[in-house]
């Protein structure tokens, strides 16, 4: 199975901060990567797909990039609604896997 | 608008089996990949397995092979999972989710069910 190593596991940030979350794949996944946001008690919500494409209705402060097997989710200016847990997921091979998650907390 | 409605909470004893359903509405059922994802309280998301009903062959994560059966009923647009030999660490919320692009496994999960709480306790 492809392993997805996500970091950090948690971070504290303030409103307005730039936040970066990283996900590293154990092998080439050909940009087949999605990012999800999940708030407590809610189902996950798709944020980005194909590494850098924004899902419908997601604010433009979210962006995604890739370099080889390393993928990055960036929030350019953290807003109160962004405090949540974020997961990456690869869909390169049909044994999909998620990263361990990054909890973004209020500093 | 695609909606996924899951069956209600379950309480089971260790060693028993549980079957969870997910009824889809909106869109074509048989051509999209459906998945089961679980979340143990306080932990992350774990992909269990999935299938494209049109092709009929499920893919199951290695950790669950032999214990997890995934099926689909095209006549009712319902997706199922059955997990056997339940243990206490199987207590979790189980989500079904549907992919965005048809007839491919290289696609992300755009639509999610509300989740089904499964509790395993003696």
pLDDT in tens, A22-62: 999 999 999 999 999 999 999 999 999 999 999 999 999 99
* Apex B1 CA angle, B56 and A58, nearest 5: 105
Strand pairing report for A10-13 and A102-106: parallel
Q: What is the pLDDT of residues B26-45, one digit of tens each?
A: 989 999 999 999 999 999 99
- DSSP state at residue B5: E
The strand ranges marked E within A1-107 are 4-7, 10-13, 19-25, 33-38, 45-49, 53-54, 62-67, 70-75, 85-90, 97-98, 102-106
Q: Which residues of chain B does A94 touch, with a Cβ-Cβ cutoff of 8 Å?
A: 50, 59, 105
Residue B91 has pLDDT above 90, yes or no: yes
Buried b (16+ CB within 10 A) or exposed e, B88-109: eebbbbbbbbbbbeeeebbbbb
In degrees, rounded to 5, the angle at the alpha carbon of residue A16 between the alpha carbons of residues A54 and A104 is 70
Closest CA to B32 of B89, B87, B74: B74
Q: What is the mean pLDDT of residues A60-77?
A: 98
Give the side-chain half-sphere CA count within 13 A for A87.
24
The pLDDT assigned to B14 comes to 98
**Is residue B122 scored above 90 in pLDDT?**
yes
Mean pLDDT score across all residues of chain B: 96
Cα–Cα dist B25/B77, whole Å: 7
Mutation for A interface: B44, B51, B107, B116, most A CBs within 10 A: B44
Retrieve residue B101's tokens: 């692009």
**Closest Cα in chain A, distance from residue B60 (Å):** 7
Residues in B touching A3 (Cβ below 8 Å): none
B87 burial type by CB count under 10 A (0-12 exposed, 13-18 middle, 19+ buried): exposed
The reply to whether residue B45 touches residue A98, judged by beta carbons under 8 angstroms, is: yes
Q: How near does any CA of chain A get to the CA of B47, in Å? A: 6
Residue A94: pLDDT over 90: no
Contacts of B85 (CB under 8 A, 6+ apart): B15, B17, B67
Mean pLDDT score across all residues of chain A: 97
What tokens appear for B59 in the block?
Answer: 């893919």
Mean pLDDT of B96-115: 94
Paired sense of beta strands B116-120 and B10-12, if any:
parallel
Q: Is B50 in contact with A96 (Cβ distance < 8 A)?
A: yes
What percent of chain A is modeled with pLDDT above 70? 100
Q: Can the peptide bond before residue B41 be classed as cis, meaning omega within 30 degrees of 0?
A: no
> Which band of pLDDT confidence, cut at 50, 70 and 90, is reported for residue B46?
very high
Q: Give the pLDDT score at A34.
A: 98
* Bridge partners, A20 (sequence order): A74
Residue B22, H or E segment:
strand B18-25
Q: Of A43, A87, A100, which is closest to B112 when you measure between CB atoms?
A: A43
Nearest by CB: A98 against B46, B105, B115: B46
Minimal Cβ distance to B59: which of A50, A95, A98: A95
In this predicted structure, the answer to whether residue A93 has a pLDDT above a threshold of 90 is: no
Note the pLDDT of residue B27.
Answer: 85
Q: Are B25 and B13 in contact (CB under 8 A)?
A: no
């Amino acid at each position: 199975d492809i392993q997805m190593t996500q970091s950090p596991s948690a971070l504290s940030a303030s409103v307005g901060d730039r936040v970066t979350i990283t996900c590293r794949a154990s092998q080439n996944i050909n940009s087949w990567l999605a990012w999800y946001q999940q708030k407590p008690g809610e189902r996950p919500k798709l944020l980005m797909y194909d590494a850098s494409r924004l899902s419908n209705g997601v604010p433009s402060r979210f962006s995604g990039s890739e370099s080889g097997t390393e993928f990055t989710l960036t929030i350019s200016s953290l807003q109160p609604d962004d405090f949540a847990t974020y997961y990456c997921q690869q869909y390169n091979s049909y044994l999909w896997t998620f990263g361990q998650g990054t909890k973004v907390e209020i500093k | 608008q695609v909606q996924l409605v899951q069956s209600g909470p379950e309480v089971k004893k260790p060693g028993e089996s549980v079957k969870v359903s997910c009824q889809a509405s909106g869109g074509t059922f048989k051509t999209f990949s459906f998945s089961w994802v679980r979340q143990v309280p306080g932990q992350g998301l774990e992909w269990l397995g999935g299938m494209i009903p049109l092709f009929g062959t499920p893919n199951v994560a290695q950790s669950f092979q032999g214990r997890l059966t995934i099926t689909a009923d095209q006549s009712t647009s319902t997706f199922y999972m059955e997990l056997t030999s339940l243990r206490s660490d199987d207590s979790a919320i189980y989500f079904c989710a549907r992919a965005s692009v048809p007839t491919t496994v290289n696609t992300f999960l755009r639509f999610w069910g509300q989740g089904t709480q499964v509790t395993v306790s003696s």
